[in-house]
Structure 1
């Protein structure tokens, strides 16, 4: 405790007299003594948060439909935005514990490398950690976005929750974070939660990656959704070259139309989210969890529109319903869940006891 006081992480707030003996001293956490920065890279949005020791978000920044064509330019943009956030919160740099980046998988956490995510064209074997360390002169950690989101949900959610749940990330693509007995499951290569090639039971188009025609990735791809929209009399934006920026623009337009009341757009959005929910129900079966949590930038936009259909789909696919109920809920962290998770990951790495530090000297 003396070390925490000496480091300024806690301070003596007041004393309480509750009987004979020495009065008790109440300690207060100095929240802004330590601050972490979280970055979330989604193909449709770049999100940044500055979070203090209490878990309070001090500042946030969003860059909608970012230009991700040149990875090195995106890294530079990340560094510039982080520097701006640090300047805005007016916290000395020595109190910044580091930067946690949540990225689409697959990812090599040890090397700090993004390994060719399916929806990030041109991002094969892109180094993120070392370039950002050099630009920022701070500790930088990388984590798969679904795992980071599950960490953020576990740490930060104000909702009463179980120790066993599946977090379904809904952004430009879908993924899952898995929490069992209060611990986030990382997998043998820190890439747990890849659900894109689960069967949905609905035929779509042939998927070159998995060789099936009913996987979640192909059934919720912009290419397939735009083709279905055209068949139903709704024209969505068409592009000669289809990359992350174009897919994001097209999906954002579909969402806008759905929220404005367009019946076809609402059908298409609902169908996509129901497919993700049916996969989540299958995953809940395999893991025997009691709760499925939905979150992420896309879910934040459409949750009220599709919530009831998604809940029904999860329960329909949950085969253990004769044994126990399955609940669904929306993350309270909103569109920032990935970035908050990134900030939590780097805070945890900085503050959690390490085995080597616990050895008797």
Structure 2
């Protein structure tokens, strides 16, 4: 059984202190009281508790302030670990991160998308076991596993609500079965939401800020974080940018909407557009029927980077569509920043960043009360996998844990009430 902190009825307050230490890297008790708004005595008691649990260590004296030097605290990165698993359409990425959110081991492989879940999940479990062994990580220090994928999904029940990549995955208990195979708790979440919170855990954004994330892998997804919390919506299937309609007269999408952004600006759309572009089609010979859109998209991005005018036009048009999505995110959520995350942005990020920033600046100039910065993810192509592991750290360390029975009862109730409503939604997102 994985080792966890000793939880008390004030675990949220304890989590607040732990999160402030994480965000500051090193911090004194006096600074902690100021950052959290807690009384000094409360901070000192909680810090002692965190030190006793091995999560926090003293880091020596701080800079002189004219009086007695203040002792600084920091997280002990090796005190706990978590695992992040990204289950994409074409690939699976697994990372192990330490308590500070820093990756310590990584692996990736193909093939699970073509398997039914009762075959794919044991493969993933064996890969997690092998990576933990290779990294020499004590399983007793592993808090759990974050499993992230495209949506929609019922994260409380731990099931996918999409028949992708095959009908067998629809409502299959992926979190429960993977947890059984590993002997670890498994948290299911959306890949874009995970990528978004990973930026917060890595300290790339101000802990009080509101920011958006556009995630592009095989498809397009989105996430919004408000003061360190992912905006969820009523069923935790929010900010589905890939299925935002950008053409009311557009083609029908399998999700039920028309003119969805993903069908104009996503990697699969660009592969189809490249195959229909004279000259470029001959030069690149893209396969519009491939299941591996990322490989084909990478070739288009490389051609654009090398100066191919046709490939550059496709990338720029895709970026303008995504700029419209970024503007919508800015208007709806009043964000401070928009982060571009995922493997597709890792391939062609600079071109996208420039155009999306231009669109945001141009189209929000008349009403904007503050600048909105468009920037790349600090976690690169593994943003969702690293974010998945960060979600476990956040859930286990800064939020506290509900009683197991309460979680089971709530999960069963939520799944029973939502299963019929979601069953007809057939389209995956990014």
Paired position in structure 2 for 1:62: 108
Partner Cα separation in structure 2 for residue 96 and residue 227 of structure 1: 43
Are the equivalent residues in 2 in contact too, given 1:152–1:341 (CA < 8 A)?
yes
Paired position in structure 2 for 1:50: 96
Partner Cα separation in structure 1 for residue 207 and residue 54 of structure 2: 32
Paired position in structure 2 for 1:81: 127
TM-score, L = length of structure 2: 0.72
Partner Cα separation in structure 1 for residue 61 and residue 294 of structure 2: 55
Q: CA shift at 1:66, angstroms? A: 4.2
Paired position in structure 2 for 1:180: 226
| Residues 75, 318 of structure 1: alpha-carbon distance in 2 compared, 3 angstrom cutoff | farther
Partner Cα separation in structure 2 for residue 225 and residue 23 of structure 1: 59
Bigger helix share: 2
Counterpart among 215, 232, 247 of residue 260 in structure 2: 215
Paired position in structure 2 for 1:312: 358
Paired position in structure 2 for 1:133: 179
Are the equivalent residues in 1 in contact too, given 2:220–2:241 (CA < 8 A)?
yes
Bigger strand share: 1
Partner Cα separation in structure 2 for residue 317 and residue 222 of structure 1: 25
SS of the residue aligned with 2:156? Answer: coil
Partner Cα separation in structure 1 for residue 90 and residue 328 of structure 2: 27
Q: CA shift at 1:305, angstroms? A: 2.9
SS of the residue aligned with 2:50? Answer: helix
Paired position in structure 1 for 2:324: 278
| Residues 282, 12 of structure 1: alpha-carbon distance in 2 compared, 3 angstrom cutoff | closer
Answering whether residue 217 of structure 2 is matched by residue 171 of structure 1, we say yes
The within-5 A match list for 1:115-154 is 115-116=161-162, 120-122=165-167, 123-154=169-200
Partner Cα separation in structure 2 for residue 198 and residue 141 of structure 1: 27
Paired position in structure 2 for 1:340: 386
Moved over 6 A (4+): 21-24
Are the equivalent residues in 2 in contact too, given 1:204–1:219 (CA < 8 A)?
no
Gaps of 5+ in 1: none
Partner Cα separation in structure 1 for residue 101 and residue 268 of structure 2: 39
- String of CA shifts for 1:251-280, please: whole Å, max 9, x gaps: 333334333433222222222232122112
- String of CA shifts for 1:59-111, please: whole Å, max 9, x gaps: 12233x54411142332232122112211221211011111112111111111
TM-score, L = length of structure 1: 0.85
Are the equivalent residues in 2 in contact too, given 1:38–1:342 (CA < 8 A)?
yes
SS of the residue aligned with 2:384? Answer: helix
Partner Cα separation in structure 2 for residue 186 and residue 350 of structure 1: 18
Counterpart among 287, 291, 304 of residue 238 in structure 1: 287
Q: CA shift at 1:323, angstroms? A: 3.5
- String of CA shifts for 1:130-182, please: whole Å, max 9, x gaps: 11111110111111111111211122143568611111111111111112344
- String of CA shifts for 1:38-57, please: whole Å, max 9, x gaps: 11122243222111112221
Partner Cα separation in structure 2 for residue 223 and residue 350 of structure 1: 37
SS of the residue aligned with 1:33? Answer: coil
| Residues 316, 207 of structure 1: alpha-carbon distance in 2 compared, 3 angstrom cutoff | farther
Paired position in structure 2 for 1:194: 240
Gaps of 5+ in 2: 1-46, 404-430
Partner Cα separation in structure 1 for residue 176 and residue 147 of structure 2: 12
Partner Cα separation in structure 2 for residue 256 and residue 317 of structure 1: 29
Counterpart among 202, 214, 228 of residue 156 in structure 1: 202
Are the equivalent residues in 1 in contact too, given 2:96–2:106 (CA < 8 A)?
yes
